[in-house]
Amino acid sequence: MNAKTADKIATGVIYAISSIVALILFAMLGFILVRGVPHLSWHFLTSPARAFEAGGGIGIQLFNSFYLLILAMLISFPIALGAAIYLNEYAQKNRFTAIIRTAIEILSSLPSVVVGLFGFLLFVVQFKLGFSILSGAIALTLFNLPLLTRSIETSLAQIPDLQREAGAALGLSRWETVLHVILPAAVPSIVTGVVLSAGRVFGEAAALIYTAGQSAPALNFADWNPFNISSPLNPMRPAETLAVHIWKINSEGIMPDLNAVSAGASAVLIIVVLLFNFSARKLGMKLYKKLTSA
């Protein structure tokens, strides 16, 4: 076989492979959306799940997912921001920095089920928080921290050193320069990173099944006092999320419309995650434009 023929065949194979990959994605998206979207309705999105009969919804799970997401982001963002600032602005090249960097790398590569089990052991059992929103939010925080830290660090590193020199030359300390110069300039890319990580957190289930639990007790959406047991805001109640719900009903669900509920829930999950991914970039670009023009 001469080189020209080989080149043609190889090119053909590469085209074929890429087409298959594209096809897999479109088939999956198509499957979920075609199966799931017809099932979506206001009733489905807002009413509680039913265990034994058809017609149940995902209202509580959807609320739990967002509530957990917000709590997890509220806890993890300041920690990740602080860690990223130290790593990018203060850390010197020494043993301590190398060890911490390795630790973060290891944390990011830990299977999320292990992170969830650790959360179960420490928060659910040891600290007696039980299966609760709080335990789940902490587990999601641990899951989210390494990647968010790295993404913020990258955002900070993209701001040229000229800006740091400018701050220093004006008698501003490192911290003041970071707070008032570097961070504002990095906001577009930090926002993109945060929203992308929110998408990951929203779809995570393995870290939650033994921390936030696998049950969704009825909520009274008229009661917003976080200390009441049936209040949606109560952080100590168990809270099955949308992702956990999909896993749960497919593993042991017995309702007759199981497939329709799963498809509907999967469609919602995917749509939300896609919205996050899409808006992450849009938002970042918009903020950047605002920063450089106005």
Partner 1 sequence: MTNSNTDLKPASEFIRENAPERFIYNMDPEKHEIALSTHDLQVFYGDNLALSEGDLQFERYKITSLVGASGSGKSTFLRSLNRMNDDVATVKGKIMYRGVDINTKKIDVYEMRRHIGMVFQRPNPFAKSIYDNITFALTSRGNYTKEQLDEVVETSLKQAALWDQVKDELDKSALALSGGQAQRLVIARALALKPDILLLDEPSSALDPISSAQVEDTLLKLKDQYTIIIVTHNMQQAARISDYTAFFHMGKIVEYDLTRKIFTRPKVALTNDYISGNFG
Partner 2 sequence: MDNITKKLMQRSESTRKDTFGRVVSLTALILIGVVVVAIFAFVLSRGLSTFFKDGVNVKDFLFGTTWNPSVTNPATKQPYVGALPMIIGSFLVTFLAAIVATPFAIGTALFMTEIAQKRGAKIMQPIIELLVGIPSVVYGFIGLTVVVPFIRTITSGSGFGILSGTIVLFVMILPTITSMTVDTLKSVPRYYRESALAIGATRWQMIYKVILRAATPGIMTAIVFGMARAFGEALAVQMVIGNAALMPTGLTTPASTLTSVLTMGIGNTVMGSLQNDVLWTLAMILLLMSLVFNLIVRAIGRRGAMK
Please report how close the Cβ of residue 168 comes to partner 1 at its closest, in angstroms: 6
Note the helical H segments in 110-241: 112-119, 133-157, 161-169, 174-177, 183-203
Cα–Cα dist 269/62, whole Å: 9
Residue 280 in contact with residue 202, Cβ under 8 Å? no
Kindly state whether residue 74 participates in binding partner 2, applying the rule CB under 8 A. Answer: no
Examine residue 154 and tell whether it contacts partner 2 (CB under 8 A). no
Which pair of structure tokens corresponds to residue 39? 């099932």
Task: Say whether residue 87 binds partner 2 (CB under 8 A).
Answer: yes
Q: Looking at beta carbons only, is 171 or 222 nearer to partner 2? A: 171
Residues that bind partner 1 (CB under 8 A): 160, 162-163, 165-166, 168-173, 176, 180-181, 184-185, 291-294
Binding map of partner 2 across residues 88-107, x = CB under 8 A, - = no contact: -xxx-------xx-xxxxxx
Stretch that binds partner 2, among 38-46, 50-58, 154-162, 243-251 (CB under 8 A): 243-251
Q: Is residue 86 involved in binding partner 2 (CB under 8 A)?
A: yes
Please say whether the beta carbons of 287 and 187 come within 8 A. Answer: yes
SS3 for 82? helix
Backbone Cα Rg of the chain = 23
Q: Which CB, 102 or 225, lies closer to partner 2? A: 102
Distance CA 231, CA 44 (A): 21
Residues 168-227 that bind partner 2 (CB under 8 A): 171-176, 178-179, 199-200, 202-206, 209-210, 214
Tokens of residue 77, six digits: 């963002």
Comparison of 89 and 257: residue with beta carbon closer to partner 1: 89
Answer with the entry of partner 2, partner 1, none that 266 interacts with (C-beta below 5 to 8 A by kind): partner 2
Residues 209 and 215: their CA atoms lie apart, in Å, by: 9
Among partner 2, partner 1, none, the one that 14 touches (CB under a kind-dependent 5 to 8 A) is partner 2
Indicate which single residue of 183, 212, 236, 266 sits in contact with partner 2 (rule: CB under 8 A).
266
The DSSP code sequence of 13-49 is HHHHHHHHHHHHHHHHHHHHHHHHGGG--HHHHHSPP
Residue 180 near which of partner 1, partner 2, none (CB within 5-8 Å, type-dependent): partner 1
Q: For residues 164 and 96, is the Cβ–Cβ distance under 8 A?
A: no
